[in-house]
Amino acid sequence: MMRIICILFIFISSIYAHKLNVFTNFEDNKLYVNSYFANGNACQKCKIRIIKDDKLVIEDKTNTKGEFETTVNYNSFILSVDAGSGHAILKDIQKVIKPKKRYENNQLQKLQEENKNLKLQIKLLEERLSYFEFFKIVFALIVIIGIFTFLKRVKKS
């Protein structure tokens, strides 16, 4: 029974071994693509295709880091990333137009002050973390000494 469970576990865990993950960012007519497999290896030299209205617009390959970037002058298109052996992803990319926020001087000053306060709080938290790191080390040493003392007493008995 245990053998069957182990075999099933190995089989199930290997199903996603070659899953292709693709992350995209499309800003200011610039498309950034990052592709990698489930185990974290970059999708090197994978075919990239950009299709607009069923026409191939751009065809290229990813670099050795699994990254690709290009300028695209369309608001929507289809991105295809093909790693071969049936590992392919199709994504419908839509450009999102974000309205630019305008701040008044008063609002900008408030945001800058809030930013300064948050930076001070971060520094304080970092100091507290370093303080706890010291106690972790001391506690670990005490535990190790306690274990050796316990083992020494057990060995003498």
Domain of 67, CATH number, reads: 2.60.40.10
pLDDT of residue 145: 93
Q: Does pTM surpass 0.85?
A: no
Task: Report whether pLDDT(17) > 60.
Answer: no
What average pLDDT does the segment 106-132 reach?
81
Confidence of residue 14 (pLDDT cuts 50, 70, 90): low
Higher pLDDT, 18 or 148: 148
Task: Report whether pLDDT(1) > 80.
Answer: no
Pairing of the two strands 55-61 and 20-27: unpaired
Q: Residue 43 and residue 40: Cα distance in Å, rounded?
A: 9
64 and 42 Cβ atoms separated by less than 8 Å: yes
Element (DSSP H or E) covering residue 26: strand 20-27
Q: Which of 94, 115, 140 is the last residue of a domain?
A: 94
> Cα angle at 69 between 64 and 70, to 5 degrees?
140
The reply to whether 10 falls in a domain is no
Same domain, 66 and 112: no
pLDDT of residue 3: 73
Same domain, 108 and 157: yes
pLDDT of residue 144: 92
- Give the residue numbers spanning the domain of 54: 17-94
pLDDT of residue 9: 61
